[in-house]
Structure 1
Amino acid sequence: MHKLLLIAAMATLPAGACLAQSAPLTAPTAAAQQAALTVDQVTRHYADLVYAGYSDSLASAQTMQRAIQRLLAQPSEQTLAAARKAWLQARDFYGQTEAFRFYDGPIDNADGPEGRINAWPMDESYVDYVQGNAKAGIINDRQQPITAEALSELNEKDGEENIATGWHAIEFLLWGQDLSATGPGARPHTDFVLGKKANADRRRQYLQVVTDLLIEDLGTVRSAWAPDAKNNYRASFVASGNEGIRKIFVGLGSLSRGELAGERLEVALASQDQEDEHSCFSDNTHNDAIANARGIENVWLGQYRRLDGSLLRGPGLRDWVAQKNAALAQETTAHVRQSVAAAQQIPAPFDQAIQGQRSSPARAKIQATIDSLIQQSKDLAASAQAVGIARLNIVQPE
Structure 2
Amino acid sequence: MTADTRHIEAAIYERLSRVIDPELGRSVTDLGMIAAINAVSADATDATGETGETSAAGATADSQPAYDVTIQVELTVPGCPLSETITNQINGAVASYPDARLTPHIEVTSMSHDKLADLVADLKAERKQNPFNKPGIKTRIFAIASGKGGVGKSSVTANLAATFAALGYDTAAIDADIYGFSLPKLFGVHTQPTNLNGMLMPVTAWGVKLISIGMFAGADRAILWRGPRLQRSLEQFLADVWWGEPDVLLLDLAPGTGDMAISVAQALPNAELVVVTTPQPSASDVAVRSGLVALQVPMKVRGVVENMSWYEHKGEKLRIFGEGGGQRVSEQLTDALGYDVPLMAQLPLEPELRETGESGRPAVLTPEGALRTDGIGREFRTLAERLMR
Normalised by the length of structure 1, the TM-score is: 0.25
Which of structures 1 and 2 has the bigger CA Rg? 2
Normalised by the length of structure 2, the TM-score is: 0.25
Identify the structure with bigger relative contact order (alpha carbons < 8 Å, sequence gap 6+): 1
